[in-house]
Amino acid sequence: ELFVFQKKIGWRLDNRGHLHAFTMEFFPLLIRDYSRRLGNNDPSLTDLNLKCAGMSDEKFFEPILRGLHKNNQVQIVDLYGNDLADGVESFASILSANKSIRVLKLDRNRINCESVKCIAKGLESNSTIEEITMDDNEIGPDGAEAFAEMLRNNKSIKKISLRSNRVGNRGSIALFNGLKDNTSVEQVCLSFNDIKGLEVANALRDLLQTNHTIKIFRIWGNSLGATGGEKVAKGLEQNHGLQELYLGQTDMGDDGAIAFGDALRKNKTLKKLYLYRNAIGTKGAMGLASGLRLNLTLETLKLGLFEEQDENYCKAIREIMYWLQLNRSGRQNVYEHAISLPYPLWAHVFASVSEQPEVLNYFLRAKPDLFIS
């Protein structure tokens, strides 16, 4: 059964797919049931979903904690929106001992720097948690530094999300430095964190140049600026692991976009690049189009609309769309794998783009030797 709570009304989805509403007067019974099932290691309880469930009340939270101390079946713990605040410190003691939890969601719980220090300490010796999200909390720079120190020792976490935590420059630089030597984290989100300026951009550049494990990086809504964008692009040039980079609303403008165009000439792994709301005009679009001529891997590029669209801007956008279409259709195979790809398989390659005349024409012109007997 799935239980979802919103304010004073709960919704229960039974195993027949029927949805039932009930008042929060039923909640103590649910807590008692969950606690019993946790303590008994009920194998059917693997996803502990307690979103917006009023867990800030100690009489509700303590039975759950006791049950989790003994449990080795639950793999997902979702405590979104419970205003746990200092109560998180009690939960942190479970982390060092528990061997079953894989995903921990603590978004919107008013977690401050002292609470996150306890969580970080528990995670240092934890070897099973692979994903932790703490979006929309109050960990600040000190909390980010404690989290960064944990990343130097933890070898299991693959996904981290700390969106909207006001970590600032000091906190973000500490996290970037902590991630340099980390070989397990594959996804990072630090969007909307009051990060700004050249110092942070330099630290992110250094991270991209040294860490090739991270595959997805989100840093939306932070004022890196044009020069900052250039620094990040420089790091991307030497990175050979990142597949998705989200840099919307970072104030990079045309100069930053041109720098990313240059980076795309050298980068061979990036597949998605999001540059929404960066006031990228004609010069920036032309720079990106130029870079894509030599890039074989980027398949998605999001720019958003630019208000002043002249003829050259529209031409650059059309060219960008053309190169992206080629990449999605397998342009990399034509250039990098033509020798190793068995001849009979080329029929499948061309058949896959047979309804795209522009792409098929490009492939035929690029590899005429395939049709010479």
Spatial contact of 60 and 53, defined as CB atoms under 8 Å apart: yes
Name the phi and psi angles at 195, rounded to 5.
Answer: -95, 130
pLDDT at 234 over 60: yes
Q: What is the pLDDT of residues 274-286, one digit of tens each?
A: 999 999 999 999 9
Q: To the nearest whole percent, how much of the chain has pLDDT over 70?
A: 81
Q: Work out the end-to-end distance of the chain between its first and last CA atoms, rounded to an integer number of angstroms.
A: 65
Distance, in Å, from the CA atom of 99 to the CA atom of 134, rounded to the nearest integer, reads 20
- For the chain, counts of helices (H) and of strands (E): 14, 13
Q: From the CB of residue 234, how many other CB atoms can be counted at a distance below 10 Å?
A: 19
Spatial contact of 325 and 359, defined as CB atoms under 8 Å apart: yes
**Chain-wide mean pLDDT for the chain?**
86
Spatial contact of 255 and 285, defined as CB atoms under 8 Å apart: no
Distance, in Å, from the CA atom of 16 to the CA atom of 346, rounded to the nearest integer, reads 49
Confidence at 349, pLDDT banded by 50, 70, 90: low
76: β partners: 47, 103
Distance, in Å, from the CA atom of 275 to the CA atom of 247, rounded to the nearest integer, reads 5
Spatial contact of 99 and 128, defined as CB atoms under 8 Å apart: yes
Radius of gyration of the chain (CA): 25
Spatial contact of 327 and 295, defined as CB atoms under 8 Å apart: yes
Q: What is the pLDDT of residues 14-70, one digit of tens each?
A: 555 554 444 445 566 777 888 899 999 999 999 998 887 767 767 778 888 888 988
pLDDT at 239 over 60: yes
Q: Which of 57-66, 249-258, 309-318, 324-333 has the lowest mean pLDDT?
A: 57-66
pLDDT value at position 22? 46
Q: Which of 41-45, 121-125, 356-360 has the lowest mean pLDDT?
A: 356-360
